[in-house]
């Protein structure tokens, strides 16, 4: 399939998608105005009547066919991702591979997780049959970011579709071509238009929130998430918010230091550090701090950012982020941090060379705010307790990583985050069955896994009377003796 610019005659404005490596225009897309977004949502509502009424098996067949199309087109999709983000092709291939695995899991497991199932009616309602089903909402609006423009929105799109919803997708203005490709790849396989695209800037995303969708799945910055939630408050439209992070790694004294250094550098600097669950802070216990710094520095110095697929990572995709990275570096260095790799001179837009900072005061923006660049803060701590305290101190709580032999699971248990990888980094994203999401300023709600399927459903509870009880509990005909009898029975059974 070739990437084609969509044609919408009513669109008044247009936006260009650019190659961030050289500023070349890749394609032009319409900027959809609020009325157009509302019309697309209305069409999606009609499609939802058909899609939502299909048996799970039929939806599964469509989604598995999509999985196969994605697998066959993986290289082509990866090229679109690579061109719009500037990331090397192999990184884009990894991203697309993760997408395919999630389509597979959601398609295969939706029926098992969501179908009506019996629950115990309990003692007082023993004459009832009780059951729960998770039914689709109808139309879900998905708003996505640019850093993993296929993987992050698909974490919502695929699970929402598998749960029986139709989806209207607003990709980042930086990556509309990826959105177009995804929508076009599903269209010939589905009985109706289950996935539709609206393109534009923030205003188009804002319009989607108030266009009559039944749920909004937002992935992006915490600042925008607050606007999305405020826009949805008026209609009590539920939201799932996947926001930024400031993920920490903890390295204990018995850790495999080479593996930890490899994970810290890859987790912090791949994709130019533009990863919501990227490593931004590393807390290393005193006994192994210096050795760890040597290993990290050697690995970081060897990295080459650049425009070719052989480079280790590409440019900053969003030009403005370069200023944020520069600001974090400046304030950390002014506050007494030491750069052992790179420094101020590493920022040479659109690229940022690897930077490793040591001894950054904990109140610096480089520790408290999302840097979203290839900058790793490595701070020395006395012990694991101090590491946990510092890791948990921030307002974000997305993911984390722990490198330790004896105490890995124990440390993981104590971290206030949505996901932790022990002796690896970022790996939880690749386990389709694990829920993905954060706490605090990292948002709430979950995508992926069974939680991610249920996130896109309304829970429907039914009790059905199997036989009438000789005594009536919920009736004005209730005998005055019944309530006393009930309490007497409960005292015997529950009072111990």
Reported as half-sphere exposure (CB side, CA atoms, 13 A), residue 188 has a value of: 7
Question: What one-character-per-residue DSSP string does 12-62 give?
Answer: -EEEEEE-TTT--EEEEEEE--HHHHHHHHHHHHHHHHHHHHS-HHHHHHH
Among 6, 52, 177, 220, binds ligand NDP (CB under 6 A): 220
Nearer to ligand NDP by C-beta: 62 or 248?
A: 248
Which tokens sit at 121? 């009616």
Q: For residue 350, is the peptide bond before it cis, meaning its omega torsion is within 30 degrees of 0?
A: yes
Whether 273 and 321 have beta carbons less than 8 Å apart is answered as no
Among 97, 131, 221, 424, binds ligand NDP (CB under 6 A): 221
Crossing angle between the packed helical segments 56-72 and 74-85, to the nearest 10 degrees: 70
Of 108-116, 138-146, 262-270, 290-298, the segment contacting ligand NDP by CB under 6 A is: 138-146
356-385 binders of ligand NDP (CB under 6 A): 370
> What is the C-alpha separation between 210 and 207, in angstroms, rounded?
5
Among 205, 305, 373, 449, binds ligand NDP (CB under 6 A): 205
Secondary element (H or E) of residue 352? strand 351-352
192: buried, middle or exposed (CB in 10 Å: 19+, 13-18, 0-12)?
A: middle
> What is the C-alpha separation between 415 and 479, in angstroms, rounded?
54
> Considering CB under 6 A, how many residues would be counted as binding ligand NDP?
30
Residue that is written with structure tokens 């018995």 in the block: 254
Active site annotation includes 232: no
> What is the C-alpha separation between 261 and 254, in angstroms, rounded?
14
Of 28-36, 198-206, 295-303, 339-347, the segment contacting ligand NDP by CB under 6 A is: 198-206
> What is the C-alpha separation between 352 and 317, in angstroms, rounded?
11
Q: Does 325 interact with ligand NDP (rule: CB under 6 A)?
A: no
Q: Does 420 interact with ligand NDP (rule: CB under 6 A)?
A: no
Q: Does 137 interact with ligand NDP (rule: CB under 6 A)?
A: no
Nearer to ligand NDP by C-beta: 198 or 284?
A: 198
89-108 binders of ligand NDP (CB under 6 A): none
Of 83-91, 139-147, 256-264, 301-309, the segment contacting ligand NDP by CB under 6 A is: 139-147
Strands 128-136 and 457-465: antiparallel
Of 48-56, 110-118, 241-249, 355-363, the segment contacting ligand NDP by CB under 6 A is: 241-249
Q: How far is the CB of 380 from ligand NDP (least distance, A)?
A: 26
* Residue 174: DSSP 8-state: T
Secondary element (H or E) of residue 351? strand 351-352
Among 48, 198, 243, 263, binds ligand NDP (CB under 6 A): 243
The active-site residue, picked from 242, 280, 369, 455, is: 242
Per 3-state DSSP, what percentage of the chain is helix, strand, and coil (rounded to 5)?
Answer: 45, 20, 35
Nearer to ligand NDP by C-beta: 200 or 408?
A: 200
Q: Does 244 interact with ligand NDP (rule: CB under 6 A)?
A: yes
Active site annotation includes 209: no
Nearer to ligand NDP by C-beta: 216 or 288?
A: 216
Strands 117-119 and 128-136: antiparallel
- Say how many residues make up the chain: 496
> What is the C-alpha separation between 169 and 300, in angstroms, rounded?
37
Closest CA to 253 of 412, 402, 421, 391: 402
Q: Does 268 interact with ligand NDP (rule: CB under 6 A)?
A: no
Q: Does 342 interact with ligand NDP (rule: CB under 6 A)?
A: no
Among 197, 206, 400, 417, binds ligand NDP (CB under 6 A): 206
Q: How far is the CB of 146 from ligand NDP (least distance, A)?
A: 5
Nearer to ligand NDP by C-beta: 221 or 338?
A: 221
Among 158, 229, 269, 398, binds ligand NDP (CB under 6 A): 398
Q: Does 212 interact with ligand NDP (rule: CB under 6 A)?
A: no
Among 145, 305, 397, 452, binds ligand NDP (CB under 6 A): 145
Nearer to ligand NDP by C-beta: 261 or 366?
A: 366
Nearer to ligand NDP by C-beta: 157 or 288?
A: 157
Of 28-36, 239-247, 350-358, 453-461, the segment contacting ligand NDP by CB under 6 A is: 239-247
Q: Does 138 interact with ligand NDP (rule: CB under 6 A)?
A: no
Q: Does 181 interact with ligand NDP (rule: CB under 6 A)?
A: no
Strands (E), 166-296: 166-170, 195-197, 215-219, 239-242, 247-251, 279-285
Closest CA to 126 of 480, 484, 469, 491: 469
> What is the C-alpha separation between 473 and 264, in angstroms, rounded?
62
Among 73, 121, 202, 359, binds ligand NDP (CB under 6 A): 202
Which tokens sit at 245? 């992070």
Nearer to ligand NDP by C-beta: 165 or 224?
A: 224
Task: Give me the residues that bind ligand NDP (CB under 6 A), please.
Answer: 143-148, 152, 170, 172-174, 201-202, 205-206, 209, 219-221, 224, 227-228, 242-245, 276, 318, 370, 398
Which positions are annotated as active-site residues? Answer: 242, 276
């Amino acid at each position: 399939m070739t990437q084609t610019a969509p044609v919408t005659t009513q669109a008044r404005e247009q936006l260009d998608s650019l190659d961030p490596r050289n500023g070349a225009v890749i394609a032009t897309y319409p900027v959809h105005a609020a009325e157009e977004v509302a019309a697309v949502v209305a069409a999606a509502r009609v499609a939802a009547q058909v899609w939502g009424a299909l048996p799970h098996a039929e939806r599964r067949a469509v989604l598995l066919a999509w999985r196969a199309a994605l697998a066959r087109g993986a290289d082509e999709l990866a090229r679109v991702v690579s061109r719009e983000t500037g990331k090397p092709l192999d990184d884009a291939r990894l991203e697309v591979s993760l997408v395919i695995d999630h389509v597979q899991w959601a398609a295969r497991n939706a029926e098992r997780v969501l179908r009506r199932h019996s629950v115990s009616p309990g003692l007082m309602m023993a004459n009832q049959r009780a059951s729960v089903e998770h039914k689709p909402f109808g139309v879900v609006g998905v708003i996505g970011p640019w850093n993993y423009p296929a993987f992050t929105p698909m974490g919502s799109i695929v699970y929402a579709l598998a749960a029986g919803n139709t989806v209207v997708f607003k990709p980042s203005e930086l990556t509309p071509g990826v959105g177009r490709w995804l929508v076009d790849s599903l269209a010939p396989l589905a009985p109706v238009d289950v996935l539709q695209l609206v393109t534009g800037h923030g205003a188009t995303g804002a319009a989607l929130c108030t266009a009559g969708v039944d749920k909004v799945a937002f992935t992006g910055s915490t600042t925008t998430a607050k606007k999305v939630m405020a826009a949805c408050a008026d209609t009590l439209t539920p939201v799932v918010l996947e926001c930024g992070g400031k993920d920490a790694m903890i390295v204990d004294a018995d850790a495999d230091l080479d593996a930890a250094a490899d994970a810290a550098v890859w987790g912090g600097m791949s994709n130019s550090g533009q990863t919501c669950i990227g490593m931004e802070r590393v807390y290393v216990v005193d006994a192994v701090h210096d050795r760890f710094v040597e290993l990290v520095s050697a690995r970081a110095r060897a990295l080459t950012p650049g425009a070719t697929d052989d480079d280790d990572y590409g440019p900053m995709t969003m030009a403005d982020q370069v200023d944020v990275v520069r600001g974090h570096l400046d304030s950390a260095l002014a506050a007494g941090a030491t750069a052992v790799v790179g420094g101020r001179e590493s920022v040479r837009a659109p690229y940022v060379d690897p930077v490793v900072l040591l001894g950054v005061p904990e109140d610096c923006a480089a520790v408290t705010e999302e840097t979203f660049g290839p900058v790793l803060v490595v701070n020395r701590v006395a012990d694991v307790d101090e590491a946990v305290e510092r890791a948990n101190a921030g307002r974000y709580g997305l993911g984390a990583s722990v490198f330790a032999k004896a105490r890995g699971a124990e440390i993981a248990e104590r971290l206030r985050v949505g996901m932790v990888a022990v002796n690896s980094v970022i790996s939880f994203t690749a386990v389709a069955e694990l829920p993905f999401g954060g706490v605090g300023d990292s948002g709430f709600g979950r995508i992926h896994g069974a939680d991610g399927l249920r996130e896109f459903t309304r829970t429907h509870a039914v009790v059905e009377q199997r036989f009438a009880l000789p005594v009536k509990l919920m009736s004005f005909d209730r005998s005055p003796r019944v309530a006393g009898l009930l309490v007497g029975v409960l005292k015997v059974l529950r009072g111990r």
